[in-house]
Amino acid sequence: MTESVNYTLINATGELVAFCDQAKQHGWLVVDTEFVRTRTLYAELGLLQAKAGDQLILVDPLLDIDLSPLWALLRDPNMVTVVHAAGEDLEIFHRAKGAPADLFDTQIAHAFLTDGKQIGYAGLVELMLNVELDKSQSRTDWLQRPLTKHQLDYAAADVEYLSEIYPRMRAQAVDSGKEALILAECKEQVIKRGREPNAQFAWRDVGGISLLNGQQRAILRELTIWRLALAREHNIALPFIAKDHALIEIARTEARSRYGLSQIEELHPISLRRYSKDILACVEKGLAVPESEYPEAIPRFDQDGAYKRYFREAKAVLKEIAAAEAIPASMLGSRKQINDVYVWENFTPDSTRSQIEPPDLYSGWRGALLKEALRSILP
């Protein structure tokens, strides 16, 4: 079971500065966050935990504490930031301008060093330290105050044990010859989590666009631009403005009245009441788009013979290269990532390519291994 963890509650900026100064001498620190993200586009930070050397701190971001010394520490190229499953933590760091210069994600490292499967923090601690963590606080509302001692102990454990795991896992990465690859993937995740999607092309990420004609895709484009702008301005999760299925139906039916919108079952009554004028304005704007400016068609292709052949050959390419490089095939590429290449090559004009990110399998270390081979098997 979890042992008692000693930690310091940071109550003033000066205390945080002192910790950061000490952490610089150590060369690496473990960081974790507790946050709430139920109805918001961006995670809301509720608690921040860090450990360097024998100092473990908990910082309450809801207090009047300047967190910039910590963000500057993460940006320091001479500091290694250790996190487990850093995805949403990285989004928080980016928004605070604290994106790590040198990240080591133990979930990524474990996947490369084993069979490619993701492992949760509790599972990793049990596997490597034979310690069973208390999971009872995993659904805590971290924005509620005051936090109990039980909650604070739970949060502290998230960095305490990772500080024991990191040196061992880093040594394993070096011994296996996979350290450079692990660090490359960690760097890619830092970059990826810092990207803000181009609102003009948000429509491409909505499921069901193959149901729409050109005019209707123009309507969908206007709807997704509006929805994303509203979500960013007010920090509202996209589905709480309007779900994807609702936007598809609005575009497909070309709804031109409040009554027309009310007939769309997927559109929640609250969204209808709050946003009907904005939605109808998007429909009108989309209807005014000339044919020459329609968004490109992305048809359904999963039953297409050429796609099926391509997918089989792409999977074989990934398997062969993964074996040659001693990389778990699941870490090299997924079905979605293979499909993204197919869409990029077949349904993405140059004018769009210049404004969106290329497929994962064409970028970074994956691109260096896969791009030429994948392009050679295109139909």
The reply to whether 372 belongs to the active site is: no
Contact by Cβ (8 Å): 94, 50: no
The reply to whether 164 belongs to the active site is: no
Query: 91, 102, 105, 158: which is the annotated catalytic residue?
Result: 158
Query: 7, 60, 89, 105: which is the annotated catalytic residue?
Result: 89
Contact by Cβ (8 Å): 206, 280: no
The reply to whether 34 belongs to the active site is: yes
Query: 60, 91, 121, 154: which is the annotated catalytic residue?
Result: 154
User: Residue 199 and residue 49: Cα distance in Å, rounded?
Assistant: 34
User: Residue 235 and residue 375: Cα distance in Å, rounded?
Assistant: 40
The reply to whether 54 belongs to the active site is: no
Query: 32, 185, 249, 340: which is the annotated catalytic residue?
Result: 32
User: Residue 271 and residue 275: Cα distance in Å, rounded?
Assistant: 6
The reply to whether 32 belongs to the active site is: yes
By annotation, the residues acting in catalysis are 32, 34, 89, 154, 158
